[in-house]
Amino acid sequence: MSFRIISLDIDGTLTNSEKVITERTRKYLTDFQENGGRVILASGRPTAGIMPHAKTLQLERFGGYILSYNGGCAIDCASGEVMFMQKLVPDIIPGICDIIKDYPVGINTYEGDKIIAGNMINEYTKLESRINGMEISFTEDFPGYVSFDVNKCLLSGEPEVIIELEKILNKKYGDIAGIFRSEAFFLEIVPKGIDKAASIDRLLNMTGYRTEECIACGDGYNDISMLRYAGLGVAMSNAKAPVKDAADYVTLSNDEDGIAHLLKKLKAYHALPRSTRSCR
């Protein structure tokens, strides 16, 4: 099997623990693209938080793609065109803000290169800012300020509070929004049906690639669907057990250049036996 396109989660997959794409990984992905391959960066990050990595990998030059907000927005890097986008139902935001007003949590969304924050700024809001390299702009009237289209809202707080709010919000809004924990301290609120696999499938159909030509690599629970969907699903060795169980193949960790290691194996053997469970 010749793989022509690779979909990569970012945090815990493409980047190491320092949130950096290593030179070795960059070189292997550049070689993959120079030989006709294409790269998709598929992440829960906002678009602005993905762009620096897209530049590092020269996706504009090679014609790669960005799937931000867990697949809620797809961008053709060569043209800058937004290929498709899904948005939250506008009425949901005032209701969420009313529910969380007495909880010690922050709420944020994204506008251009800024994180728009409400309710409070906590250590997790600041972590989101550092991860994405985006400044925080706080507003006392979050639902009043957020009059633009929203791809995702993020609640941040202590794990026990996030668990409680996940139950409350799913009971009230679970029929119109996807509400799930991406970390113990992060609660994602996205349009209903947002899923990396569904978005990759849509992108492949628009660009003429076949599912069996696609590799998908990830480490998180939100990567499971795309690992199962792709022609070759690859989990990082730092992934949780359910993610590894969903994969065809387990490569080295993100701190061991797991993506470069995978591409080296593919180049050497042309294809990876689906029965093989580890790159080691």
Q: Which residue has the higher pLDDT, 63 or 90?
A: 63
Residue type, 201: D
Question: For residue 159, what pLDDT is reported?
Answer: 96
Q: Which residue has the higher pLDDT, 1 or 20?
A: 20
Question: For residue 268, what pLDDT is reported?
Answer: 63
pTM: 0.88
> Is the pLDDT reported for residue 140 higher than 60?
yes
> Is the pLDDT reported for residue 174 higher than 70?
yes
CATH of domain 5-85+194-269: 3.40.50.1000
Question: For residue 19, what pLDDT is reported?
Answer: 95
> Is the pLDDT reported for residue 164 higher than 50?
yes
> How confident is residue 141, by pLDDT bands cut at 50, 70 and 90?
very high
> Is the pLDDT reported for residue 275 higher than 60?
no
Residue pointed to by tokens 């924990």: 181
> How confident is residue 259, by pLDDT bands cut at 50, 70 and 90?
very high
Question: For residue 182, what pLDDT is reported?
Answer: 83
> How confident is residue 183, by pLDDT bands cut at 50, 70 and 90?
confident
Tokens at residue 76, please? 């053709």
Domain positions in the chain are 5-85+194-269, 92-191
Question: For residue 267, what pLDDT is reported?
Answer: 82
Closest CA to 38 of 15, 7, 82, 70: 7
> Is the pLDDT reported for residue 151 higher than 80?
yes
Cα(216)–Cα(177) distance, rounded to whole angstroms?
25
What residues does 278 pair with on adjacent strands? 250
Cα(14)–Cα(209) distance, rounded to whole angstroms?
22
To the nearest whole number, what is the mean pLDDT of the chain?
94
Question: For residue 1, what pLDDT is reported?
Answer: 55
Close Cβ partners of 18 (under 8 Å, ≥ 6 residues apart): none
Task: Tell me whether domains 5-85+194-269 and 92-191 share a fold.
Answer: no
Cα(77)–Cα(59) distance, rounded to whole angstroms?
6
> Is the pLDDT reported for residue 248 higher than 80?
yes
CATH topology classification for 92-191: 3.30.1240
pLDDT in tens, 188-239: 999 998 889 999 999 999 999 999 999 999 999 889 999 999 999 999 999 9
> Is the pLDDT reported for residue 170 higher than 50?
yes
- In this prediction, what percent of the chain has a pLDDT beyond 90? 89
Average pLDDT for residues 238-252, to the nearest whole number?
96
Rg, the chain, Cα only: 19
> How confident is residue 269, by pLDDT bands cut at 50, 70 and 90?
low
pLDDT in tens, 51-75: 999 999 999 999 999 999 999 999 9
Q: Phi and psi (nearest 5°) for 47? A: -55, -45
> How confident is residue 271, by pLDDT bands cut at 50, 70 and 90?
very low
> Is the pLDDT reported for residue 278 higher than 70?
no
3-state secondary structure labels for all residues of the chain: CCCCEEEECHHHHHCCCCCCCCHHHHHHHHHHHHCCCEEEEECCCCHHHHHHHHHHCCHHHHCCEEEEHHHCEEEECCCCCEEEECCCCCCHHHHHHHHHCCCCCEEEEEECCEEEEECCCCHHHHHHHHHHCCEEEECCCHHHHCCCCCCCEEEECCHHHHHHHHHHHHHHHCCCEEEEEEECCEEEEEECCCCHHHHHHHHHHHHCCCHHHEEEEECCHHHHHHHHHCCEEEEECCCCHHHHHHCCEEECCHHHCHHHHHHHHHHHHCCCCCCCCECC
